């Protein structure tokens, strides 16, 4: 049987949120490649080889997957959430473009998943119900000045903003700088959703005004959604509903 490669999203954590398409690909795979905690979510079985690796070797991981597929293996490259959003799909295509020409003839599929911002938005209500954007706060692959420019322009355009990778031990200061910039640029006290480990037993949601948001409310398992100027909170018994209306004045 000829080899293939599927770049699959495992969703935010709950197995019920893994799509049937991804489950089917994993059942056929001979090899699973990915970041250590994501590969750990795959149950071992006879005939399946797991290839976990560190989070700073995406290009090498992608090239290894392509090499195995070219050798006739059925390879699934796993990401959490959706593989096309700050994840492995782009890394595989970077390696494909830079690699040997025969790789381009491979059967390569991207299998979508439920990404963190969609899971978080659904838990809270519909804060992404109108125009929004997603920004990765990590400056590992881009300069911080570009992060700041995109944040300012997103506020100027009055998008709701989903922030990925807000704060890590290696760069705890970045999120604090981002919050200061957002407060300066917005001119209003829009709501902020901190959604940690959504769909897992560690899930925790918190909604605070931007003026009260602090860096320690987020870590690398948190997606942060900054509302637009139109985003509203419906108070009710239990958790409030956070949503952005579908129309703008």
Q: What is the pLDDT of residue 173?
A: 84
Which whole number is the average pLDDT over 1-9? 91
CATH 3.40.1010.10 residue ranges of the chain are 4-114
Q: For residue 58, what are the contacts with CB-CB under 8 A and spacing of at least 6? A: 88, 91
Which of 158, 137, 178, 135 minimizes the C-alpha distance to 231? 158
pLDDT tens digit sequence for 10-27: 999 999 999 999 999 999
DSSP states along 74-95: EEEEEESB-TTSSSHHHHHHHH
pTM to 2 decimal places: 0.92
Going 180 to 161 to 22 to 69, the CA torsion angle's sign is negative
Give me the CATH topology for the region 117-243.
3.30.950
Q: Considering the domain 4-114, what is its CATH architecture? A: 3-Layer(aba) Sandwich (3.40)
Q: How confident is the model at residue 61 (pLDDT cuts 50, 70, 90)?
A: very high
Q: Is the pLDDT of residue 215 over 80?
A: yes
Numbered ranges of CATH 3.30.950.10 in the chain: 117-243
Selection from 155, 147, 160, 149 nearest residue 228 by Cα: 160
Phi, psi of 117 (to 5 degrees): -70, -35
Q: Cα–Cα distance between 239 and 157 in angstroms, integer?
A: 29
- Report whether pLDDT(233) > 60: yes
DSSP track, 134-185:
EEE---SSS-HHHHHHHHHHHHHTT-EEEEES---SS-THHHHHHHHHHHHH
Instruction: State residue 175 phi and psi, 5-degree precision.
Output: -70, -35
Given this model, what pLDDT does residue 161 score?
98
Q: Is the pLDDT of residue 1 over 70?
A: no
Give the bridge partners for 125, in sequence order. 242
How far is it, in rounded angstroms, from Cα 154 to Cα 143? 17
Confidence of residue 95 (pLDDT cuts 50, 70, 90): very high
């Amino acid at each position: 049987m000829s080899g293939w490669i599927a770049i699959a999203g495992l969703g935010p954590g709950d197995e019920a949120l893994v799509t049937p398409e991804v489950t089917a690909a994993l059942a056929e795979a001979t090899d699973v490649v990915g970041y250590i905690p994501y590969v750990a979510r795959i149950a071992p079985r006879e005939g399946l080889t797991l290839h976990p690796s560190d989070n700073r070797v995406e290009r090498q991981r992608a090239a290894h997957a392509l090499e195995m597929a070219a050798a006739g293996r059925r390879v699934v490259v796993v990401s959490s959430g959706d593989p096309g959003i700050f994840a492995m799909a782009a890394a595989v295509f970077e390696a494909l473009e830079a690699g040997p020409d025969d790789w381009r003839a491979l059967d390569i599929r991207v299998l979508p998943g439920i990404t963190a911002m969609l899971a978080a938005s659904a838990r809270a209500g519909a804060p992404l119900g109108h125009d929004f954007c997603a920004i990765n706060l990590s400056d590992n692959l881009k300069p911080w000045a570009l992060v700041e420019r995109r944040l300012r322009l997103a506020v100027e355009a009055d998008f709701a903003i989903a922030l990925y990778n807000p704060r890590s031990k290696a760069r705890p200061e970045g999120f604090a700088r981002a919050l200061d910039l957002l407060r300066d640029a917005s001119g209003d006290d829009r709501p902020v959703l901190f959604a940690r480990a959504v769909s897992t037993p560690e899930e925790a949601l918190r909604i605070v005004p931007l003026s009260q948001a602090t860096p320690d409310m987020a870590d690398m398992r948190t997606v942060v959604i900054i509302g637009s100027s139109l985003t509203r909170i419906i108070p009710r018994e239990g958790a409030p509903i956070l949503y952005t209306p579908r129309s703008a004045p």
